[in-house]
Every structure is written in structure tokens, then in C-alpha cells.
């Protein structure tokens, strides 16, 4: 029974590892969709033409992004460390299931903190945009992950990553 649990846990970690590599790659799982507004490596410059951002708005958004980058990077590092600790626990000769579960709860709590921080970042950026820009941003997003209908996490299901991944531009019009 214990061997079966270890095998299932290892297979799960392998799948999570492969999925994280796929998602972490540029464009994530949604590569090549040029119909959506996007940013390149955290640069919000492409949105200036699509949302007609003023220089002041652009600078504020870039500042917000930079402010949250270090905080989010620190949380990502914490998650990486905890996941590595879980792997070490799983690969022990006699894995302690309770210790593994406790460590997984820590990871879940850290991920929740990260989601909250991303939402705060998104909310701050949304305050910089006008109502017209928010509506335009919503139309640029279209369907899919983080938007209305379609595949992925829609508006009612979860926060999603917004149109530009980690830049924080999320079009939650229900302020």
C-alpha cells in the first residue's frame, strides 16, 4: 500500500513538473495566439498602442509591475524551495505521509498569498486605467484563460493571469 502511495505521489510530481515547465515557457500553454494583447517579457509597451496609454499611465503601470516583481519573485522562490522539500520527503525510504501533507499545505498557503498579491497588483493597475481603457482591455482579452467564456479559468471560476501573464492587467470591471 505504501509503495502504491509513493508511486502515485511520484507520478503526480512528475506531471506537475512537466506542466510547470510547459507553463513557464514563453507564452505558457497559450503560445501563438496573436489575437490577444500581450506583453513581451513583462514589458507593457505593446499595450500603449492598443489601450492608448498616456506616458503617465505607462510609467505608473511599469512602476506597479516593478514594485510587485520582487515580492512575487520571493514567493516563487519560496514555492520552489517547499516543492523541493516535498520531493525530498517523498523520495525517502520510508516517506512520512503526514509530513508530506503538511508541507503541501504550506505550498498551498504560499500559492494563495501569491494569488492575493497578484490580484492586488491587478487592482492597482486597473485604477490607473480609464473606464474606456478597461472596456477595451476586456475586448482585447477575448475568450480563454482569465476571461469570459471559453477554455481555461473564466471570470467566474478564478482570477486567471490576465492578458499579459504576470504584468497584472486584469479586466475585473466589477470594482
The backbone torsions φ and ψ at residue 152, rounded to the nearest 5 degrees and listed phi first, read: 95, -170
Nearest to 162 by CA among 131, 132, 128, 123: 123
- Mean pLDDT value across residues 24-47: 47
Query: pLDDT tens, 125-147?
Result: 889 999 998 888 877 766 544 44
CB atoms within 10 A of CB 69: 15
pLDDT at residue 28 above 80? no
* Average pLDDT value for the chain: 73
CATH topology for the 49-137 domain: 1.20.120
Nearest to 162 by CA among 2, 6, 39: 39
Contact yes or no for 40/147 (Cβ under 8 A): no
Q: CA separation (Å) from 119 to 15, 112, 114, 124?
A: 27, 11, 9, 9
| Model confidence pTM above 0.85 | no
Q: What sections of 25-54 are H helices per DSSP?
A: 45-51
- Domain ranges, ordered by start, for the chain: 49-137
Contact yes or no for 140/48 (Cβ under 8 A): no
pLDDT at residue 122 above 50? yes
pLDDT at residue 10 above 80? no
Cα 123 to Cα 152: distance, rounded to the nearest angstrom: 21
Amino acid at each position: 500500500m505504501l509503495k502504491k502511495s509513493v508511486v502515485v505521489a511520484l507520478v503526480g510530481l512528475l506531471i506537475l513538473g512537466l506542466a510547470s515547465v510547459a507553463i513557464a515557457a514563453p507564452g505558457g500553454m497559450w503560445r501563438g495566439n496573436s489575437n490577444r494583447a500581450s506583453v513581451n517579457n513583462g514589458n507593457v509597451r505593446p499595450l500603449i498602442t492598443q489601450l492608448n496609454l498616456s506616458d503617465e499611465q505607462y510609467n505608473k503601470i511599469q512602476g506597479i509591475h516593478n514594485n510587485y516583481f520582487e515580492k512575487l519573485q520571493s514567493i516563487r522562490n519560496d514555492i520552489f524551495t517547499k516543492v523541493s522539500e516535498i520531493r525530498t520527503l517523498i523520495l525517502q525510504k520510508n516517506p512520512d505521509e503526514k509530513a508530506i501533507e503538511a508541507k503541501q499545505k504550506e505550498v498551498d498557503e504560499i500559492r494563495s498569498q501569491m494569488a492575493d498579491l497578484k490580484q492586488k497588483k491587478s487592482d492597482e493597475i486597473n485604477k490607473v486605467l480609464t473606464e474606456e481603457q478597461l472596456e477595451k482591455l476586456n475586448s482585447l482579452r477575448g475568450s480563454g484563460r482569465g476571461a469570459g467564456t471559453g477554455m481555461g479559468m473564466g471570470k467566474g471560476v478564478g482570477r486567471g493571469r490576465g492578458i499579459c501573464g504576470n504584468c497584472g492587467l486584469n479586466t475585473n470591471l466589477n470594482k
